[in-house]
Amino acid sequence: MNAVVAPVANAGCVDAPVLYERGQREVFCGLTGIVWLHRKIQDAFFLVVGSRTCAHLLQSAAGVMIFAEPRFATAVIEERDLAGLADANSELDRVVTRLIERRPDIRLLFLVGSCPSEVIKLDLDRAATRLSQSFAPRVRIRAWSGSGLDTTFTQGEDACLAALVPDMPATEADAPPSLLVVGALAEVVEDQMARLFAEIGIERVRFFPPRRSDDLPPVGPGTRLLLAQPFLAETARLLEKRGATRLTAPFPLGVEGTAGWFGAAARAFGVDEARFDAAIAPRAERARTALARHRERLAGKSLFFFPDSQLEVPLARFAARELGMRLVEVGTPYLHRGHLAAELALLPPGTMLSEGQNVDNQLDRCRAAQPDLTVCGLGLANPLEAEGLATKWSIELLFTPVHGFEQAADLAELFARPLVRRSRLKV
Amino acid sequence: MQLTVWTYEAPPHVGAMRIATAMEGVHYVLHAPQGDTYADLLFTMIERATKRPPVTYTTFQARDLGSDTAELFKTSVKEAYERFRPQALLVGASCTAELIQDDPGGLARALDLPIPVVPLELPAYQRKENWGAAETFYRLVRTLAGPHAPPPGSKRPARGPDDAPRCNILGPTALGFRHRDDVHEVTGLLHRLGVTVNVVAPLGATPADIARLGEADFNVVLYPEIAYQAAQWLDRTFGQKSTKVVPIGVGATRDFIAEVAALASVDPAPVLAGAPSRAPWYARSVDSTYLTGKRVFVFGDATHAIAAARIAADELGFEVVGLGTYSREFAREVRAAAAKYGVEPLITDDYLDVEAAIAAAHPELVLGTQMERHTAKRLGVPCAVISAPVHVQDFPARYAPQMGHEGANVLFDTFVHPLMMGLEEHLLTMFREDFEFHADAAPSHLGVAASRGEAPSVAADPAPAPAVSPTPVPGPVPSMAAAASAEAAVVTDAAPIPSAAAAASPVPLRWAADAEKELHKIPFFVRGKARRNTERFAQDRGLSLITIETLYDAKAHFSR
């Protein structure tokens, strides 16, 4: 199991062996995606059909946000719902009807599947179709699964976006090529990206998911896909099935990743090189300057990633190449070689990659390596700190704007802060 | 199905985790899908534990369902035993694993481990966290102490003349609200009484400690929600009586001392005489006069809610205007307490019901959980936290018990600080037209939310109040409270009901401009009540226009 990965001679880690592990996985399920997705799609409501555990997870993950008139809730399955399926369906109809009456501002309702709803084989797709008919045209109802059986953390976003792909309008037959940026991004980041695309001369750019559910971007053979997040396997597959072409690019994390990401779009749209450089170079330079301070602190430090969000590979690439950090192990819940091809090529050769998890074995490796910084979930962070290891809790990397040039230094700061804090504390 | 946003309690397997995490040398193997490990965060983040909870999850995924999840469970048990070498093992299923019907108990028994294995049946679709904790503790106690039980019918051997009386302290767990410091405080009380503590459990206890629970003379039950069931069994099996009084508050602490002294056959007088709590004097000092008759709404787990109501009524001179709990297991006790204060008991786990009850009761102080803290913030009412569920700030670094004499001091400060202290309240009334102290200015410690103090009754107006006051009338006030009460109505009754005042009144009530202005001269913290009383007074007399005279007629009518 614990095979040591031999260094390879080819470009980066494209063909590098991966330690594939099974065992206890210390990860979130896909329901957690709701916590940021509901902030993004402003007229959508997320109704989890699950158990008290699901409600408790959302409550724990959402923290105090739960009181700001949240647009998510759980229909908690009770003993009597387990008695018979017909009953569960009519119960669901009752809950949805009441919810829609109570929240007239909702235009899109997601029925979100959970482990319990899947195990009792409650068909939420059919429920969504049935309910959509009764509430058309005011509310659309769609279903996706955020269960731990099917999804790990950010894969919830993938499942949610995939459920929206069939609703996207088709592009006109003679439509000129357009760019579709896929993956929920902070609005400030989205706005920066939109401005930069305009500056380099790519006019038709749409973002998916949109901020409002009735504003779904069109998709078709002229659509070029640029993934902003590495965890969108199913969404990309469905978009490609509708004719879109995916652009191979690194993810827009750090200066290099962002430049490569814009570069891929620029090549696809035949942007003039001088114009591209004129727009990109000053931004890249500014970001590099901002990064320099953090690089001083972080260069040479060793870094260990526990699996969490699938952002680990791009983050490791950024940390190694732009911050000069040494990678001990890069763990990811799921490694999509196709979508990560450009990233793997940039990873330092010989980087130890692991997919899946056996958390106790991985903790043994982490303790043996004594990394300078460990990126891990909140269930592991304080216990590792108590053992003397500096940690960076990984969820923050999802909730903080980290993509693009202007955020590159903020991203570096997230890695630097725990180390700075350690050096400051004298107790 | 029940539509749920907030839940007061976690599922029952989290209760089992609270027992396992509290103890040493116990490991819990939980058959659960990927993702259920989120519960580790409660311990590592909210309680800031320095170790991972001693829980191994099978974390099965969809692809495992096709194969043998039972085999996966057995492998997990075997590996957890080999890695952690616990002295006792708990095995059970989370909500999803309950549905796939592997048998954790049977599977674990088949492995024939050389340690006690306690199978847990925690019905996740019927029961909740506290029940899960109580059941787990009870099962552990039965399994580990059971073998030491004397034959049925044997009498408890008498204590030797020179032996100090011994007791167990039962109930404190991981993730318990102030359990850490309560144990310390109660242990000190017992020591002063000359009582030796045999075992504290589950917090800090090993399986070997649980095995010798029977050696004590009696049990101190700190948290009935957790320890009542186990204590009942210990009584039946070892003839150990247990305490019924939970020592939260000065009076309850005195009762507790007397109760323990009786169980231990010692004299309580020296300890009672030396009662060092400052709270009684603070409550008698003249600055506290302003606390008299303050309307307080209490909600929490049964133990803390009942205790807080007694303190509020008997030790601070408040008026209890609402009392409720989410602990259905102890609803009877809460109903009995509510009857004592002449209020309708509220037994619910729906926070919207609680919010509606708070809005209707117009309290001046809310004592509740984390949820009531948010509800009170929304309504602009001062609030203090008295019960779980709580957030990270209520696992403080400082010593902060709820029980015993120091607990009484802590509670005096906790209940009174959100209110305005007497002098501040007096000044505010004297200078109410002053630009800094005007009637709509919030007390500094409440922030902007306090300007919504009268929101519930403003929302009850059919038309927005005209802005006649020389001082700024809060503009967007109605929306929030209206939304809140409408929400509550929808959830409880399916159909939205109009707010109370409008429903009761055939003709819409109108406030004359000068009466409205006069109303705004009344301090904001009693204005809501004044408005409500005046409107009720007007309705009862069929008046449709409220004048200054109506206002003062109503004031005279309702004056206490």
DSSP character string of A169-229: PBPPTTPPPEEEEES---HHHHHHHHHHHHHHT---EEEES-SSTT-PPPBSTTEEEEESS
How is residue B456 written in tokens? 């519930």
**Matching residue, tokens 């429920």:** A127
Range B8-27 average pLDDT: 98
Q: Report yes or no on A287 lying in a domain.
A: no
- Interface-testing mutation among A66, A152, A363, A382, with chain B (most B C-beta atoms within 10 A): A382
> Which pLDDT belongs to residue B275?
67
Q: How far apart are CA B395 and CA B401, in angstroms?
A: 11
Beta bridge partners of B242: B219
Convert A161-186 to b/e letters by CB count within 10 Å (16 or more is b): bbbbbeebeebeeeeebbbbbbbbbb
Q: How far apart are CA A371 and CA A176, in angstroms?
A: 50
* CATH code, domain with B540: 1.10.8.550
Instruction: Say if the Cβ atoms of B62 and A149 lie within 8 Å.
Output: yes
> Which pLDDT belongs to residue A67?
60
> Which pLDDT belongs to residue A85?
67
Q: Are residues B323 and B406 located together in one domain of the fold?
A: yes
Q: Are residues A298 and A412 located together in one domain of the fold?
A: yes
Q: How far apart are CA A294 and CA A322, in angstroms?
A: 10
What is each CA distance from A224 to A218, A345, B375, B520, in whole angstroms? 11, 22, 48, 62
pLDDT above 50: residue B466: no
pLDDT above 80: residue B209: yes
Q: What are the residues whose beta carbons fall under 8 Å from the beta carbon of B118, sequence distance 6 or more?
A: B88, B89, B90, B91, B136, B139, B140, B143
Going by pLDDT thresholds of 50, 70 and 90, the confidence category of residue B525 is low
Q: Report yes or no on B369 lying in a domain.
A: yes
* Closest C-alpha among A167, A165, A159, A158 to residue A132: A167
Domain with A413, as residue range(s), is: 18-25+293-425
What is the strand order of the sheet B166-170 is part of? B196-201, B166-170, B218-221, B241-242
Q: Report yes or no on A282 lying in a domain.
A: no
Q: Are residues A310 and A413 located together in one domain of the fold?
A: yes
* Closest C-alpha among A222, A410, A396, A260 to residue A340: A260
Q: Report yes or no on A11 lying in a domain.
A: no
Beta bridge partners of B89: B27, B117
Residue, of A329 and B529, whose pLDDT is higher: A329
Q: How far apart are CA B196 and CA B191, in angstroms?
A: 6
Instruction: Say if the Cβ atoms of B40 and A26 lie within 8 Å.
Output: yes
Q: Are residues B171 and B269 located together in one domain of the fold?
A: yes
> Which pLDDT belongs to residue B378?
85
- Compute how many other C-beta atoms are within 10 angstroms of the C-beta atom of residue A57: 30
What value does the mean pLDDT of chain B take? Answer: 86
Q: Are residues B125 and B248 located together in one domain of the fold?
A: no
pLDDT above 80: residue B67: no
Q: Report yes or no on A50 lying in a domain.
A: yes
Going by pLDDT thresholds of 50, 70 and 90, the confidence category of residue B328 is very high
CB contacts of B30 in chain A (<8 Å) are: none
Q: Are residues A269 and A298 located together in one domain of the fold?
A: no
Q: Are residues A305 and A420 located together in one domain of the fold?
A: yes
Sign of CA dihedral A55, A56, A58, A62: positive
Phi, psi of A197 (to 5 degrees): -60, -40
Beta bridge partners of A61: none
> Which of B2, B57, B374 shows the shortest C-beta gap to A76?
B2
> Which pLDDT belongs to residue A322?
97
Alpha-carbon distance A258 to nearest alpha carbon in chain B (angstroms): 32
Stretches where chain A sits below pLDDT 70 are 1-10, 64-68, 85-86
Contact call for residues B30 and B92 (beta carbons, < 8 A): yes
Contact call for residues B77 and B26 (beta carbons, < 8 A): no
Q: How far apart are CA B451 and CA B442, in angstroms?
A: 6
Residue numbers in the known binding site of A for [4Fe-4S] cluster are 29, 54, 115
> Which of B44, B100, B483 shows the shortest C-beta gap to A378?
B44
> Which pLDDT belongs to residue B274?
76
Q: Report yes or no on A2 lying in a domain.
A: no
Q: Are residues B283 and B411 located together in one domain of the fold?
A: yes
Q: Report yes or no on B214 lying in a domain.
A: yes
pLDDT above 50: residue B154: yes
Q: Are residues B182 and B250 located together in one domain of the fold?
A: yes
Q: Report yes or no on B212 lying in a domain.
A: yes
Phi, psi of A93 (to 5 degrees): -60, -40
Q: Report yes or no on B320 lying in a domain.
A: yes
> Which of A51, A75, A379 shows the shortest C-beta gap to B52?
A379
Q: Are residues B304 and B264 located together in one domain of the fold?
A: no
* CATH code, domain with A419: 3.40.50.1980
Q: How many helices (DSSP H) and strands (DSSP E) are in chain B?
A: 25, 16
pLDDT tens digits, B246-289: 999 999 999 999 999 999 999 999 888 876 899 999 999 998 99
Q: Report yes or no on A49 lying in a domain.
A: yes
Domain with B555, as residue range(s), is: 510-559
Q: Which of B271-275, B336-340, B478-482 has the lowest mean pLDDT?
A: B478-482
Q: Are residues B297 and B267 located together in one domain of the fold?
A: no
- Asked which of B238, B255, B275 is the last residue of a domain, the reply is B275
- Asked which of B372, B395, B419 is the last residue of a domain, the reply is B419
Going by pLDDT thresholds of 50, 70 and 90, the confidence category of residue B559 is confident
Q: Over the Cα atoms of chain A, what is R_g?
A: 22
Work out the end-to-end distance of chain B between its first and last CA atoms, rounded to an integer number of angstroms. Answer: 46
> Which of B14, B38, B123 shows the shortest C-beta gap to A61?
B38
CB contacts of A95 in chain B (<8 Å) are: 1, 3
Q: Are residues B398 and B324 located together in one domain of the fold?
A: yes
Q: Are residues A320 and A212 located together in one domain of the fold?
A: no
Q: Are residues B211 and B259 located together in one domain of the fold?
A: yes
Q: What are the residues whose beta carbons fall under 8 Å from the beta carbon of B429, sequence distance 6 or more?
A: B523
Contact call for residues A242 and A180 (beta carbons, < 8 A): no
Q: Report yes or no on A398 lying in a domain.
A: yes
Q: Report yes or no on B119 lying in a domain.
A: yes
Catalytic (active site) residue B287 = yes
- Asked which of B225, B245, B275 is the last residue of a domain, the reply is B275
For chain A, the domain total comes to 3
Residue B353 counted as an annotated binding residue: no
Q: What are the residues whose beta carbons fall under 8 Å from the beta carbon of A285, sequence distance 6 or more?
A: none
Q: Are residues A228 and A110 located together in one domain of the fold?
A: no
A4-8, B155-159, B389-393, B492-496: range with highest mean pLDDT: B389-393
What's the CA angle centered on A273, arms A268 and A275, to 5 degrees? 105
CA A362 to chain centre: 23
Q: Report yes or no on B499 lying in a domain.
A: no
Residue B146 counted as an annotated binding residue: no
Q: Are residues A333 and A393 located together in one domain of the fold?
A: yes
Instruction: Say if the Cβ atoms of B1 and A75 lie within 8 Å.
Output: yes
Q: Are residues A298 and A407 located together in one domain of the fold?
A: yes
Going by pLDDT thresholds of 50, 70 and 90, the confidence category of residue B502 is very low
Sign of CA dihedral A349, A354, A359, A362: negative
Going by pLDDT thresholds of 50, 70 and 90, the confidence category of residue B523 is low
Q: Report yes or no on B335 lying in a domain.
A: yes
Range B21-45 average pLDDT: 97
Q: How far apart are CA B243 and CA B237, in angstroms?
A: 17
Convert B513-551 to b/e letters by CB count within 10 Å (16 or more is b): eebbbbbbebbbbbbbbbbbbbbbbbbeeebeebbeebb
> Which pLDDT belongs to residue A258?
98
CB contacts of B62 in chain A (<8 Å) are: 118, 147, 149-150
Percent of chain B, pLDDT > 90? 69
> Which pLDDT belongs to residue B493?
35
Alpha-carbon distance A237 to nearest alpha carbon in chain B (angstroms): 20
pLDDT above 50: residue B505: no
Instruction: Say if the Cβ atoms of A73 and B5 lie within 8 Å.
Output: yes
Q: Are residues B264 and B291 located together in one domain of the fold?
A: no
Q: How far apart are CA A164 and CA A60, in angstroms?
A: 27
CB contacts of B40 in chain A (<8 Å) are: 26, 378-379
Phi, psi of A124 (to 5 degrees): -75, -25
Residue, of B67 and B325, whose pLDDT is higher: B325
Q: Are residues A264 and A304 located together in one domain of the fold?
A: no
> Which pLDDT belongs to residue A197?
98
Instruction: Say if the Cβ atoms of B41 and A379 lie within 8 Å.
Output: yes
pLDDT above 80: residue B452: no
> Which pLDDT belongs to residue B469?
36
**Torsion (CA) A122, A127, A128, A131 in degrees, nearest 10:** -150
Q: Are residues B214 and B122 located together in one domain of the fold?
A: no
Q: Report yes or no on B72 lying in a domain.
A: yes
Residue, of B82 and B271, whose pLDDT is higher: B82
Q: How far apart are CA B72 and CA B76, in angstroms?
A: 6
Q: Are residues B300 and B408 located together in one domain of the fold?
A: yes
ipTM exceeding 0.95, yes/no: no
CB contacts of B79 in chain A (<8 Å) are: 23, 360
> Which pLDDT belongs to residue B455?
38
Considering the candidates B287, B349, B353, B553, report the single residue annotated as catalytic: B287
* CATH code, domain with B48: 3.40.50.1980
For chain B, the domain total comes to 4
Q: Report yes or no on A162 lying in a domain.
A: no
Q: Are residues A207 and A251 located together in one domain of the fold?
A: yes
Going by pLDDT thresholds of 50, 70 and 90, the confidence category of residue B160 is confident
